[in-house]
Amino acid sequence: MPSSKNKKSALQETKSDPSINLSKTSAEKIKALRRKSKDITKLTEGILSGNKTDLSQAITLIESQSKRHTEDIKTIISSCLPHSSKSLRIGITGVPGVGKSTFIEQLGLLLVDRGHKVAVLAVDPSSSVTRGSILGDKTRMEKLVQHPNAYIRPTASGESLGGVARKTRESILLCEAAGYDILLIETVGVGQSETAVHSMTDFFLLLKLAGAGDELQGIKRGIIEMADAIVINKADGENVKAAKKAKVEFNRALHMYPSKSNGWVPKVKLASALKNEGIEEVWDMLTDYFEKAKKNNYFEKKRADQNKFWLTQTIEDSLKKEFYQNEVIKSEFPKILQKIHNNNLSPFEAAEYLLSKAKS
């Protein structure tokens, strides 16, 4: 029989949980709360035992914007955290049409055949107009998705860089807790999500094309500077000559950039994911990188940097959400926008005004 103090605590918690019907009697509310707690415990146990259905359900909770799932997510993450950080996190990016899905599938099949458990987290860009995403990676990786030691989860990026960081970061922790020792995090090379993915992975691989004007794009600073390796895909058939030429150009371009702090010299490789050529060489390169990174302690330093990035991104995301949910801001925002539209106020002054309102 629960004490009056425990009863009171449970009742207070039910009031703040919209998933529990407040029209029930006190005893029923307490039972509902305990039942819900058991469900979360069962879900967590399922993740730790490698159950894909439970893992997917938990990631769906992470992606939810509903406040009622916040505490559930915290509970699941806290339980899974001690079982995480035991994987290799590899970020893979490239423009649409470069063959990312085929490349990732071939690499994933190679790894599962060698006894690894592979999770693919694909960050799809959300439309700024409809807010929708295609999320077609499972369809494109038909063979890998059927393998018992592989898990593929497409995720919409949402409206912000912080959204990418939060969803993907927590999905990484859950996949690691579920026993996946290699995580392949895919993102389309068309926006800021690459910066987020680069900051949460141990190795960042950039896929490129030859003979499609892509070589020139690669010479630009930015994403190529973040890359630990460049793989020129579709190096087959009549495209082999152009791919070899592009390899020389990229190697030349890489020498123009500052050296990596860990002493690693970015490599340029050729591959044909369609013909499954060059994939083993790419994995050998990755293995070489991780051996060296662990030997010179850079691997641990990189993980520390990832944790710092996750912390700062979470704080920024929370502050932004808190700002826009402020009732005063909700009331003042339309009026301020109108003043800006009428040229009565500059956006900079408006921002200062709204921030001062949020603080008061």
Secondary structure element (H or E) that encloses residue 268, with its range:
strand 267-270
- Helices 327-341 & 347-359 angle (0-180, nearest 10): 170
Tens digits of residue pLDDT in 115-153: 999 999 988 654 433 333 344 455 678 899 999 999 999
Tens digits of residue pLDDT in 154-190: 876 555 544 465 688 899 999 999 999 999 999 876 5
- Helices 26-48 & 70-80 angle (0-180, nearest 10): 40
Phi (first) and psi of residue 322, to 5 degrees:
-65, -40
What gap in Å lies between CA 166 and CA 125, rounded to an integer?
Answer: 15
- Helices 70-80 & 52-63 angle (0-180, nearest 10): 130
Burial class (CB within 10 angstroms; exposed 0-12, middle 13-18, buried 19+) of 275:
middle
- The pLDDT assigned to 223 comes to 79
- The pLDDT assigned to 28 comes to 63
All residues at 6 or more sequence positions from 281 whose CB lies less than 8 Å from its CB, including other chains: 269, 271
Strand pairing of 203-208 and 229-232? parallel
Residue-level pLDDT, tens digit, the chain, 360 residues: 444 444 444 444 444 555 555 455 666 655 555 555 668 899 999 999 999 999 999 999 988 877 778 888 899 999 999 998 889 999 998 888 899 999 999 999 999 999 999 999 988 654 433 333 344 455 678 899 999 999 999 876 555 544 465 688 899 999 999 999 999 999 876 556 677 788 889 999 999 988 655 444 444 557 788 899 999 999 999 999 999 999 998 888 888 887 788 889 999 999 999 999 999 999 999 999 999 999 999 999 999 999 998 888 888 888 988 999 999 999 999 999 999 999 999 999 999 999 999 987
Residue 185 bridge partners (DSSP): 91, 121
Type of residue found at 293? A
- The pLDDT assigned to 244 comes to 94
Domains along the sequence of the chain with CATH: 4-81 (no CATH), 84-297 (3.40.50.300), 309-359 (no CATH)
Strand pairing of 267-270 and 88-94? unpaired
- The pLDDT assigned to 140 comes to 76
**SS3 of residue 160 by DSSP:** coil
What is the model's pTM?
Answer: 0.81
What gap in Å lies between CA 217 and CA 187, rounded to an integer?
Answer: 17
Rg (CA), the chain: 24
- The pLDDT assigned to 218 comes to 45
- The pLDDT assigned to 232 comes to 95
